[in-house]
Amino acid sequence: MAGNRTFTMIKPDAVGANNTGAIIKMIEEAGFRIVAMKMTKMSGERAGQFYAVHKERPFYADLCAYMSSGHIVPMVLEKENAVADFRTLIGATNPKEAAEGTIRSLFATSIEANAIHGSDSDENASLEAGFFFSETERF
């Protein structure tokens, strides 16, 4: 993933509210190409592994419970400057701080149930894509 790919995941609140299609439309209209995508669920244990970096944070247990509470839609996306451009498209973690017109400003309901994830670096994009998709599925 040399700078032109990122990883995203539509979270249980947005999938549960039937906003999957609207969010994918925004992603495609912003110029991202979907390279891999599936509808799936994580166990609490898998969510704990995905968010291991937040293990010491006070919200970790709640986050793992929430992320395993319903379906998610992980995707690998391709576009020039993918990581940074995608984080602009989704907006700030806290929807109260997310810029107008961003995915989180439109669909997130709280700082935890914030509709969508976006990788914060090329390295994490690659690691996170590998968490959900095999090499064959990604290329």
Smaller CB distance to ligand CMP: residue 112 or 122? 112
Query: How many beta carbons lie within 10 A of that of residue 27, not counting itself?
Result: 22
- List the catalytic residue out of 5, 11, 104, 117: 117
6 touching ligand CMP, by CB under 6 A: no
Instruction: Specify whether 54 is catalytic.
Output: no
Tell whether residue 111 is a contact of ligand CMP (CB under 6 A): yes
Pick one of 20, 69, 93, 124: the residue that binds ligand CMP (CB under 6 A): 93
Tell me 96's DSSP state.
G
| Gyration radius (Cα) of the chain, Å | 14
> Can you read off the two tokens belonging to residue 68?
């395993």
Pairing type for strands 73-78 and 116-118 reads unpaired
CB of 111 to ligand CMP, least distance (A): 5
94: which 2 tokens? 């806290």
| CA distances to 1, 26, 56, 115, 133 from 21, in Å | 26, 9, 34, 13, 21
10, 26, 63, 103: which one contacts ligand CMP (CB under 6 A)? 63
Residue 123 Cα to chain centre, angstroms: 15
Amino acid at 115: A
Q: How far is the CB of 133 from ligand CMP (least distance, A)?
A: 18
Residue type, 25: K
Q: How far is the CB of 28 from ligand CMP (least distance, A)?
A: 20
> Nearest approach, Cβ of 20 to ligand CMP (angstroms)?
16
Span of 13-21, 75-83, 106-114, 126-134 interacting with ligand CMP by CB under 6 A: 106-114
Site of interaction with ligand CMP (CB under 6 A):
59, 63, 93, 111-112, 114, 117
